Amino acid sequence: MKLSKLTHALMLGSLVSLAGCSEPTISTKIENQSAEKHGYELTHTDRARLNIYTEVELSADLSHLSETQKQMIVKLIDASKIMDDLYWKQAFGLNKADFLAAIKDPAVKQFADINYGPWDRLNGDKPFLNGFAEKALGAEFYPHDVSKEELNASKVNDKTGLYSVVRRDEKGELFSIPYSQAYQAELSEAAKLLREASKLSEDTSFANYLTMRADALLSDEYQASDFAWMDMKTNPIDVVIGPIETYEDQLFGYRAAFESYVLIKDMAWSERLAKFAAFLPELQKGLPVDEKYKQEIPGSDADLNAYDVIYYAGHSNAGSKTIAINLPNDEQVQLEKGTRRLQLKNAMRAKFDKIMVPIAEQLIVPEQRKHITFDAFFANTMFHEVAHGLGIKNTITDKGTVRQSLQEHASALEEGKADILGLYMVEQLLKQGEITEGTLEDYYITFMAGIFRSVRFGASSAHGKANMIRFNYFAEQGAFSRNEAGLYQVDMEKMAAAMESLSQLILTIQGDGDYERVSALIASHGDIKTQLEADLARLAAANIPVDVTFKQGKHVLGL
Ligand SMILES: [Zn+2]
C-alpha cells in the first residue's frame, strides 16, 4: 500500500539528549569537522540528478471556506510543520539547520532538503554529499550498529513497537523510549495546535477526531483516533497526521515515521466516486473470465474520496510524492471499519502537467498525443482503487486466500489486476453512458503513457512489476507498436483484446492460487527489457523530471 496508508501518527521530538541526534555515526562526525571548514559538497560531478524534481506550487481553491475554517487550516499547517521537524530527526541524525547551512550550493541544498538528508531517495539511498557513509537501514530509530539478531535477543520491551526509539545506555544495553517521551516538547505543542483547531471546526466529527489525535500524540495510543477518523463522513477538511508509515525503518519495518497531509475534500468528485462504486456488483458479473472465478460479491460501499492537498510534511514530503493514500494501517480498525482511500487530485494534476505530458511528447506518436488528458489520467488512477474490489479474495482450489497462496507475488498480481480492471470499469461505464467525459482513445492512450511514467520508478516494487508485466504482455499482443523513431502507437482493437485476455489470465491465476504460474509470469514478463530501458534513457536525457517537489504553505494559499 505504498501509495496509500495512513494510520497512526507519531512524532518525535525533543529527546535530543537521549535520542539519535546526540549520536551521529563515526562517518558523520568526521564529516562535521570537515564541513566546518569546507561545507558539504556533491560527491560526484553528475549534477543531472539535481534536476529530477521539478517545483510546483501546491495551491487549491479555498474560496468556499469560511474565515473560521481558514483559521483552522493555519493551525493544521503549524502542527504539520512539527511533524516535519520530527521526521528530520527520525531520518537523519544531525541538526537540520546546521546541516543545510553547511551546504553552499543552492541547488545541492535544495536537493538535500527534498531528500531530508544526504541520501538520494530515488537512487537506492546513495549518499550524494562528501563524507557521509551509507544510510543506516534503521535510520535514527535504532543505534546504527544494532543488528537484527541483537535486537531480537535483547530485553527491549517493545521490540516490534511502532511508536518508540531504541537507544543504548552507558553499559551498551538496548532500551526503548516511547515517542511521547522522546519528543515530548514537540508533541505537546502539536497536540495543543490540534486542540485549538478542533475548537474551530464546524464539523463535530472532525473536531472529535482532532481531539483524539491530540491525545494519541501524548499517549502513543492511536487506535481510538483511527476509529474516529473512519467515523467521519461529512467533514470538508481533513488532516492525516502522526507517525504512520513504516517504510523509513528498512531494518525491521516496525517503526512509524511522522508525517502529515492537510486536505480539502472535493465533495463533487467524492459523490461521483460513491456512485461508481455502486456499480461494482454488476461489473463483477460482466468480468471476462469463467463464472467460477467471480462468485464473490464485491462490497459497494467503498470509502473513496477525492481531495486537494494543501500541505505535505515529513515522510509524505520526502523524495517522491504520494498521490493516493489508503488508511488506516491498524488491522483491527480495518477489520471493523474497512479503509478509506484518498485520491490527491491537485498533486496528480502536477505530475500530469510536469511529467506525463512531456513523456508523451517524447514517446507517443504525434497523432495520438491529443488523447493524453488529465480527466483520463485521474479516472484511471481512481478506478484502479475501486477495481481492487473486483475479482475474488479466496481461491477456488482450497488453497486459502489469494494472498496466502501467491505469497511474495500476491501484491504485484493484485496491483496488476487493479490497473487492468480499472480500465475495464472505465470502458464499461463509458459504454453505459455513466462516464461522459472523453473517449475510449483518451483512456487507453493515457493508460499507455502512464506505464512509461510509472516504470521510471523501477521494476522492483509491486507496482513496478505489475507495470512491466502489462507492458511486456501488451507488446507481445500487439496492443501497441513502436516505430523507427522510437515512438509508440496504441492499436485500439488489439489493446481491447489484450486487456481482456490479461484480465482473464490474472483473475484465473488468483482464483486458482497458482503460485507456479505467477512465478513464471513474473520471471518472463516482470523486468525492463533493453529497448524500453533505452527509451527511458531518452526521457532522462530530455531532462524530464522524475517527480515533483512542492512550494507550499500559508503564503502560497494566501492565508
Ligand atoms: Zn493498488
pLDDT digits (tens, 9 = 90+) for 16-39: 223 333 333 333 444 445 555 568
**Helices vs strands, H then E, count in the chain:** 23, 13
Among residues 505, 444, 441, 498, the alpha carbon closest in space to that of 473 is found at: 498
Collect residues with CB below 5 Å from ion ligand 1: 415, 418
Ligand 1 centre to CA of 413 (Å) is 10
CA dist list (Å): 555 to 57, 58, 310, 311, 378: 11, 11, 11, 12, 27
Q: Does a structural domain hold residue 390? A: yes
The tens digit of pLDDT for each residue in 106-117 reads 999 999 999 999
Mean pLDDT (the chain) is: 89
* 129 DSSP 8-state letter: B
Ligand 1 centre to CA of 472 (Å) is 20
Read off the pLDDT of each residue in 307-319 and give the average, rounded to a whole number.
Answer: 96
Integer Cα distance of 414 and 392 in angstroms:
10
Cβ atoms of 221 and 187 within 8 Å: the answer is no
Domain residues for 387? 363-546
Q: How confident is the model at residue 303 (pLDDT cuts 50, 70, 90)?
A: confident
Ligand 1 centre to CA of 153 (Å) is 36
Among residues 300, 308, 260, the alpha carbon closest in space to that of 280 is found at: 300
> Domain total for the chain?
1
What pLDDT shows up at residue 116? 97
Ligand 1 centre to CA of 558 (Å) is 35
Q: Does a structural domain hold residue 316? A: no
What pLDDT shows up at residue 270? 85
Ligand 1 centre to CA of 342 (Å) is 12
Strand partners, 550: 56
AA letter at 245: E
Ligand 1 centre to CA of 80 (Å) is 26
The tens digit of pLDDT for each residue in 444-460 reads 999 999 999 888 877 77
Ligand 1 centre to CA of 385 (Å) is 6
Q: Percent of the chain at pLDDT above 90?
A: 69
The tens digit of pLDDT for each residue in 171-203 reads 999 999 999 999 999 999 999 999 999 999 999
Radius of gyration from C-alpha coordinates of the chain: 24
Ligand 1 centre to CA of 174 (Å) is 38
What pLDDT shows up at residue 306? 93
Ligand 1 centre to CA of 3 (Å) is 7
Ligand 1 centre to CA of 256 (Å) is 21
Ligand 1 centre to CA of 199 (Å) is 36
Ligand 1 centre to CA of 302 (Å) is 14
Ligand 1 centre to CA of 322 (Å) is 13
Ligand 1 centre to CA of 386 (Å) is 9
From the number of C-beta atoms within 10 Å of its C-beta (0-12, 13-18, 19+), residue 106 rates as exposed
Ligand 1 centre to CA of 50 (Å) is 30
**Per-residue b/e over 107-126, b at no fewer than 16 CB within 10 Å?**
ebbbbbbbbbbbbbbbeebb
Strand partners, 165: 177
The three-class DSSP label of residue 168 is strand
Q: Residue by residue, what is the 3-state secondary structure of 481-501?
A: EECCCCCEEECHHHHHHHHHH
Read off the pLDDT of each residue in 308-335 and give the average, rounded to a whole number.
Answer: 91
Beta-sheet pairing, 303-314 with 340-344: parallel
Read off the pLDDT of each residue in 471-483 and give the average, rounded to a whole number.
Answer: 96
Ligand 1 centre to CA of 412 (Å) is 9
Ligand 1 centre to CA of 401 (Å) is 18
Q: Does a structural domain hold residue 403? A: yes
Indicate if the pLDDT at residue 101 is higher than 70.
yes
Integer Cα distance of 259 and 238 in angstroms:
14
What pLDDT shows up at residue 277? 80
Ligand 1 centre to CA of 462 (Å) is 9
Ligand 1 centre to CA of 383 (Å) is 10
Ligand 1 centre to CA of 387 (Å) is 8
Indicate if the pLDDT at residue 91 is higher than 70.
yes
Ligand 1 centre to CA of 197 (Å) is 32
Cβ atoms of 60 and 312 within 8 Å: the answer is no
The tens digit of pLDDT for each residue in 135-168 reads 999 999 999 999 999 999 999 989 889 999 999 9
Q: Does a structural domain hold residue 215? A: no
Side-chain-side CA neighbours of 363 within 13 Å: the count stands at 30
The tens digit of pLDDT for each residue in 252-294 reads 889 999 999 999 999 888 888 888 888 888 889 999 999 999 9
Strand partners, 53: 547
What pLDDT shows up at residue 27? 39
Q: Does a structural domain hold residue 555? A: no
Q: Does a structural domain hold residue 317? A: no
Q: Does a structural domain hold residue 413? A: yes
Whether cis (ω within 30° of 0) applies to the bond prior to 127 is: no
Pull the grid cell for residue 553: 504553505
pTM: 0.83
Ligand 1 centre to CA of 333 (Å) is 19
Residue owning grid cell 506505464: 451
Ligand 1 centre to CA of 336 (Å) is 21
What pLDDT shows up at residue 403? 86
Ligand 1 centre to CA of 382 (Å) is 10
Ligand 1 centre to CA of 391 (Å) is 14
The tens digit of pLDDT for each residue in 397-440 reads 999 889 889 988 888 899 899 999 999 999 999 999 999 999 99
Ligand 1 centre to CA of 6 (Å) is 14
Integer Cα distance of 94 and 8 in angstroms:
25
What pLDDT shows up at residue 301? 65
Helices 67-91 and 184-200: crossing angle in degrees, nearest 10, is 160
Q: Which of 272-276, 347-351, 373-377 is the least confident region?
A: 272-276
Indicate if the pLDDT at residue 238 is higher than 80.
yes
Ligand 1 centre to CA of 415 (Å) is 5
Q: Does a structural domain hold residue 438? A: yes
Ligand 1 centre to CA of 142 (Å) is 31
Pull the grid cell for residue 115: 531528500
Ligand 1 centre to CA of 533 (Å) is 24
Ligand 1 centre to CA of 418 (Å) is 6
